[in-house]
Amino acid sequence: MWIRMSLAALLAAATLTGCVTSETCVSWVDFETPQDAYDDARLVVRGEVGAITGTRAVLGVQATVHAVTVVEVLKGDDPGSTIEVASTPITCTGGELYPDGDPLDVTGDVILFLGDPPDTHGWRLITPFDGVLPAPADGTLPFEVAD
């Protein structure tokens, strides 16, 4: 009986607010080095970030998605010449997804450390803080690429 009454109250509240959403609060791992980020990522690419293509649900919020032109695959299976990548949100910031700015709002040649393969939800940065690294101009990499 109590469960039925609680469910009825929840449904009534959802009707008044329009919907019920849930945001996942994440305590992000801090990768100390680019090698740590490389080792953890499922896909690492060098490329250029392009236009915003829309949004996608990531951790219970609508994250910004960017088109990325892939120049080189440094880890993982070749995803093709263009992929869509979500800017992983910080979460639980009171509505501000990117308090320090969208991590994919960059220009130039970058290295992206990505998680979540496309057969699940789509590519996203491994964290809001360690997913984008400017590519060194001299072509060297700040990590060892596994064979």
Task: Establish if 120 belongs to a structural domain.
Answer: yes
> Shortest CA distance to 124 belongs to which of 83, 88, 100?
88
Cβ 65 vs Cβ 85: under 8 Å: yes
**Which has the minimum average pLDDT: 3-7, 43-47, 96-100, 113-117?**
3-7
Task: Establish if 16 belongs to a structural domain.
Answer: no
Task: Establish if 4 belongs to a structural domain.
Answer: no
- Residue 13's pLDDT is what? 39
Task: Establish if 20 belongs to a structural domain.
Answer: no
Q: Which helix (H) or strand (E) covers residue 127, if one does?
A: none
Query: Rounded to whole angstroms, how far apart are CA atoms 82 and 48?
Result: 10
CATH number, domain containing residue 65: 2.40.50.120
- For residues 64, 69, 72 and 77, what is the CA-based torsion angle, rounded to 10 degrees? 60
Tokens representing residue 107 in the block: 């220009």
Tokens representing residue 121 in the block: 């939800």
List CB contacts of 139: < 8 A, sequence separation 6 or more. Answer: none
Phi, psi of 121 (to 5 degrees): -120, -15
Query: Rounded to whole angstroms, how far apart are CA atoms 140 and 144?
Result: 10
Task: Establish if 17 belongs to a structural domain.
Answer: no
- Residue 59's pLDDT is what? 83
Average pLDDT, the chain: 84
Task: Establish if 89 belongs to a structural domain.
Answer: yes
Count the domains in the chain: 1
Q: Does residue 144 have a pLDDT over 80?
A: yes
Full-model pTM: 0.81
Q: Does residue 85 have a pLDDT over 80?
A: yes
- Residue 114's pLDDT is what? 97
Task: Establish if 100 belongs to a structural domain.
Answer: yes
Domain that holds residue 46: 25-134
Task: Establish if 140 belongs to a structural domain.
Answer: no
The residue among 110 and 1 whose pLDDT is bigger is: 110
